[in-house]
Every structure is written in C-alpha cells, then in structure tokens.
Structure 1
Amino acid sequence: MQVWPPGAPRSPQPQPQSQPGAAGPVTPLVTKPHKRGIGDIPIRAIYLAGAILVTVTAVLLIFVVFSGDVPTTGDPAGTTVSVAPVPAATATPTASPTPSETPVALPSVPASKAFPTLPGKASVVSGIISDKTSGISYPRLAAPWDAKSFAPFTVAQRIGKVAVPHTVIASAMFPGDAPEKKPSKDADYREMAVRAARWALRTQYPAGAELTSWTGSAKVPVGKGWSLGYKVTYVSGGKTETAQAVVTVVEVGKTKPAMLLASIPEKNKARWADLNTLVQQVRPL
C-alpha cells in the first residue's frame, strides 16, 4: 500500500487496459430512435392524400346540392300494364291522342243514369275471371264466349274471329297516362270512364264510328269507380249498324284504375243482355 505525504497531490490510479484478444465485457452502443416529422413524409404522399380529400369533399357536395332532384314515380304501388292499340284491319289507332289528332266529340255525360235492361238472353255465368294483373274480377261467360289472349288486354273473352268491329269483353289497366294523383271523387272516376270510352271508340270500331248516346252512368257496386253504358253507330259493309257497350274503371290501390271494357256489335245483339251481367258483378280483388 502506497502512502502519500500529507498535502501531496494524488495521481489517478491507472486503469487496466484491455489486451488485444482478451475476453471482457462489451457495452453495446444504444441509438435513440429518430422521431419522424412532417418534413420526412415524401411529397408524393402529401399530394395523393390531398387529391383524395378533394375528391371525397366534391362527392359529398354533389349529394347535398342535388338530393332534391331525385325523380319520383307516378305509380308508387308498382309496375302498371301499358294498354297499346288493338290490331285492326283499318289504320292502326294510337292509345292516346297525338298532337295532330282532334279529340272525339262526345255527348254530355249524365251524372247518374240507371242502366236499361238490354234485349237478348243473358249467357250462363260459368265462373269468375280474376285478373290479378289489373286487380279486378268479373263473370266468365259460357259459349259462345271463349276466353282467348287478345292484346293489348290482360284477359279477354270473344265471340267469333278477331275483326272490326270487335265483340269482346276484356280487362286491362286504364289506357294512356296515369293521373298525377289517385282519383278520390266519383266525378274523377266518371271522367276517366269517359276517356276510356273515347279510347275504345278509336280502337274497337271502324273509322268514323260515333258514340251517339250514353245509356247508363252509375257508381260501381263495390269499391270506388264508375261504369258508363253507351251506344255506337258505324258503317260496316256499306250499312249503318249499332253496337252496345259498357266501360268500367275501378280503383285498385294504384294511381291508375283498372278498366273493364265490353262491346257487342249488332251482329251479336242476341248477347246484349250480357252487358247488364258485367256491370252488376265487376269487383276489385
């Protein structure tokens, strides 16, 4: 042990030196992680993020600005049946008037008129036709009536061959455009029945046919709707003849009503009484 004189400075103890090749503890070099800042983000990534933000903002603004321009359907209850013109030997009529077409003039419609008992023997009712597409039911008549496909109607009963003037009982949705809102008053349905009769005058009879009088005007027996009876005169084979007809429009839960049309020309006047059967028994499903 070395003793230092009092007051003499002490020299530091020499530290042992590591010899090359000697084993000894090694202290690892610890590097603190570098915190990345905004300056370390690549400029390309910044541009990409900015472009995505601008695009999302533009899409959201489009939805907000134009959300009130979404169109609404005129018939929220579902798809309706379009009534096209009936094939005929004469020039094909259109289902609704064209701008150049002059509307057919009709007599004034009575607000109420009892249907007369038409001559002839009523056919046997052999069953019920349920037109699920249009939403109405009505009598199925026995021979000589025969149920056949007949465009543009959903269901049709006919006598004889397809020829103008037609002998037909048929159902479909109301022809032409749907009203802006569903009719609610009897007068509204009566007016739609007039429009249906005008359509039938163009499509079921020879050119030049005239609706000469209304034979009946009454509310449907069940539900909402209106029935009109009418007489038509036309020229066939150089001879003036008459047809009796009825048309009924029935509310079926849609904007458009259903339509039942029946027309019997003079050559089948023995079946005119069948029109009374139809008017009394047409129903909504």
Structure 2
Amino acid sequence: MSDEGERGGRWADMSDDSADREESARVTVPDVEGSEPAGRTDFSGPSPLEQARQAEDVKVAPVADGPAAQEDDELFAGEGDPQYAGVAAPGPAGPVRPGKPSSGNWQMPDWMADEDAADSKLGRQGDLDEGGRSKLALYGGVGLLVVALLAAGGVYLFKQRGGAAEAETKKSSTDQEAAPEVRMPAEKPLRKFAGRPSRILGGVTDPQSGLVYPRMAGPWQVPTKKNKLGTPGWSGQQVLVTERTGRQMWYGQLLTGVLNPSLQSEYKGPESVPAVAVQAAKGIEAQYYAFPHKSTPLASQALNVDGRKGWLVASYLTYKRAGVKATGEVVATAVIDNGKPAPAVAFASVPNTHKSLWPDINRFMAQLKVAA
C-alpha cells in the first residue's frame, strides 16, 4: 500500500522486517524503549538481474601475441647479413713508438720565455693574481650566478606567498558561498485551534533534550516494545494512531529531542535559534514526508520557554496516498535554547482525520519547560 521507491514516509508497516527498514532510514540518536513503525513508504533494493550485471567481471583485451609480434623479434635474430659485416679500422700492426714532430727544430721565442715580457705582450695587468682574466671572469660569473639565484628565490617566495593568499581568499569565498542562506518566513503566530485539548496526565522530563513536556491522556500512547510505536532519533515520544489497515497504520506524533548533528554547526547561540528552527523544520519534512505533497505556511513565531529563547515554525501539508483516508495534517517544529551546546527540538503532527485533536498541538507547545 505504498509507492515503490519512495523513502522515509509515514505509512508504517507493523511487521518486524519493515520496522528494521524504517530504522535504517532515520537518524540515529538515543532511542526510547520500543521499536519504530516502518514508516509511510517501503524501500526496494536492486533486482536480481541488476545484481547479476554488477557481478560480471570486466574483460580486458589480451596483449597481441601473433605473427606481428614474431616478425618484430625476427628483426633482431640470426647472425646478420654478411654484406653489412663490420670494417676493420686501419692502424699500425705493432706498438706505437715515440718520434719527433715534423717541426722538431722549433724553439720558443725569447719574449715568450721571459714571463714578464710575455705578460706585457699579452696585455696582462700587473696587479692581477695568477690566472689573470680567467679568475676575473670566474669571480664575475659566480657573482652573477649568486645574484640570479637570489632574484629567483625572491620571485619564488613572492609567488608562494601570493598564491597562498589567493588560495586563502578563494577558500574564504567558497566557505561563504557554501553557507546556506536561510529565508525566514513571514512572522505569524500559530492560530489557536477550536476544540478542547486532551487531558494532561503530568509532566515528563526528557534529560536528553533538557525539556519537560506534557504527557497527554488517551488516545495518545507512549511507545513500548509491545506496541512498536517508537521512532528512532527522539528521546521523548507520544504517538496517536489515526488509521490502521492490517499491519499498516497512519499516525500523529508529539516528540522531543536534540537538534540533528548535521545542523548543530549552524547553531551559534540563542540569536541563531530562528534560522536553525526553519532549517530543522525543512529537514524533518524532507525526511518524514518524502512523497509528493504541498506545504502551506501556518506560523513562524518566537517562543519564550522559561525565559529562554525559542522559535516555532508550523505548516499544513496536503497529499493523496493510496489506502490513506487523511489528505493533510498540521505539523509544527520548535527549536529551543536549553543552555546546552546543542539546542532542543520539539515536533508535533496531527492528520486532518483527527481535527478535534489539533488543539493538542497548541497545548503541547505552550507547556514546554526547560528542565532545572
């Protein structure tokens, strides 16, 4: 009685295996006693044909090993063609004996034999050390090399520093672009629904969220292992079963817990509560109502919970689900500064088949308190 492939819905199957599927689809935080309903949609895995396709090995073309490869090897095989035999280099047959050059009567001129005269003839300066111009050229070359290396090092450091600064600028720009921009809905208080709310049996302290919430009398129920009404991710829970078809059911909820870890980095203290509340409401809607529906804003208002700042966002969701009589429901999400690193979250939902219990949403939110 659910659409194939949809996720995280609220059409719950009371069988054990479907309960396990729903548990894997929702966030994991401290759970209350009891297992969760299976959710409003089912999951479907890959088909046997798809699994068989995924299991096939990837075939790789073999390396060529045929006549072409053998021909390449034959190019370097054998003794070679005698027409291209090596040629012996001409030279003396025996050992070489010392002899005299053809100009054996050559003698060094007197001016060359005299070192000072040679220096004068060659234009060498007297104040130069041995090596003369060669040493000057050497020293000059080394000096130029040092200057070039220093210049190159300066350019490298400049580029490195400039590149690091540019990378830091780009990173900061990317971080700013990645930060989600929250569009706050128009401020509007939640209307007071007509009718008499359910009787309150007392207050329940939720140590995880740091809230004290009102416990409603029947038809609200507390999840147990026997009724399997628990929803993972919430430490305080009350469930209102509105429809049953075999092992499947549709329901409303009154929940308390801690802000989802994925949003905790967005919480910057009491002043960030309104923006975080809008994000939390969108996240819950996407998770629990992951099927075609329309959302109409009902409220966006400040809350004062024992002097601490809170914010409430409410909407009316409409939908058409096969086998479900309800065509819509009121949902409300509140984020409350509880004095802890992660704020508290309260959530309420009641389908339109039980409009007479919509006042319970007003009472639940109005009587939230911060635990001492």
The question of a shared fold, defined as TM-score above 0.5 by the shorter chain, is answered with: yes
- State the match for 2:39 in structure 1: 88
Asked whether the 8 Å contact 1:126–1:141 carries over to 2, the reply is: yes
Alpha-carbon distance between aligned partners in 2 of 1:158 and 1:243, rounded to the nearest angstrom: 14
Asked whether the 8 Å contact 2:266–2:276 carries over to 1, the reply is: no
Question: Letter of the aligned partner of 1:156 in structure 2?
Answer: Q
Alpha-carbon distance between aligned partners in 2 of 1:107 and 1:266, rounded to the nearest angstrom: 28
Deviation digits for residues 75-120 of structure 1, max 9, x if unmatched? xxxxxx738998413156xxxxxxxxxxxxx98512x322211133
TM-score (norm 1): 0.58
Counterpart of 2:207 (choices 106, 120, 132) is 132
Asked whether the 8 Å contact 1:228–1:247 carries over to 2, the reply is: yes
Counterpart of 2:364 (choices 260, 278, 283) is 278
- State the match for 1:141 in structure 2: 216
- State the match for 1:261 in structure 2: 347
142-151 or 171-180, which deviates more: 171-180
Which residues of structure 1 form unaligned runs of 5+?
A: 1-80, 93-105
Alpha-carbon distance between aligned partners in 2 of 1:233 and 1:134, rounded to the nearest angstrom: 30
**What's the RMSD between the two structures over aligned residues?**
2.9
- State the match for 2:231 in structure 1: 151
- Counting helix residues as a fraction of each chain, which structure ranks higher? 2
Alpha-carbon distance between aligned partners in 1 of 2:293 and 2:355, rounded to the nearest angstrom: 18
Distance 1:180 1:203, change over 3 A: closer
Residue aligned with 2:265, SS: coil
Q: C-alpha displacement at 1:183, in angstroms?
A: 2.7
Deviation digits for residues 228-258 of structure 1, max 9, x if unmatched? 2221112123777221121111122333211
Counterpart of 2:289 (choices 191, 202, 205) is 205
- How many aligned positions are there? 190
Residue aligned with 2:279, SS: helix
Residue aligned with 1:158, SS: strand
- State the match for 2:103 in structure 1: none
Alpha-carbon distance between aligned partners in 1 of 2:236 and 2:345, rounded to the nearest angstrom: 11
Alpha-carbon distance between aligned partners in 1 of 2:257 and 2:297, rounded to the nearest angstrom: 24
Counterpart of 1:224 (choices 303, 309, 312) is 309
Counterpart of 1:177 (choices 238, 242, 262) is 262
Distance 1:176 1:121, change over 3 A: same
Alpha-carbon distance between aligned partners in 2 of 1:284 and 1:130, rounded to the nearest angstrom: 9
TM-score (norm 2): 0.46
Asked whether the 8 Å contact 1:209–1:232 carries over to 2, the reply is: yes
Alpha-carbon distance between aligned partners in 2 of 1:205 and 1:83, rounded to the nearest angstrom: 22
Alpha-carbon distance between aligned partners in 1 of 2:286 and 2:198, rounded to the nearest angstrom: 27
Asked whether the 8 Å contact 1:86–1:203 carries over to 2, the reply is: no
- State the match for 1:242 in structure 2: 328
Asked whether the 8 Å contact 1:118–1:276 carries over to 2, the reply is: yes
Q: How does 1:30-179 map to 2 (within 5 A)?
A: 82=29, 87-91=38-42, 109-110=185-186, 112-149=187-224, 150-152=230-232, 153-160=234-241, 166-179=251-264
Distance 1:163 1:278, change over 3 A: farther
Alpha-carbon distance between aligned partners in 1 of 2:354 and 2:283, rounded to the nearest angstrom: 22
Question: Letter of the aligned partner of 2:337 in structure 1?
Answer: E
Alpha-carbon distance between aligned partners in 2 of 1:107 and 1:244, rounded to the nearest angstrom: 21
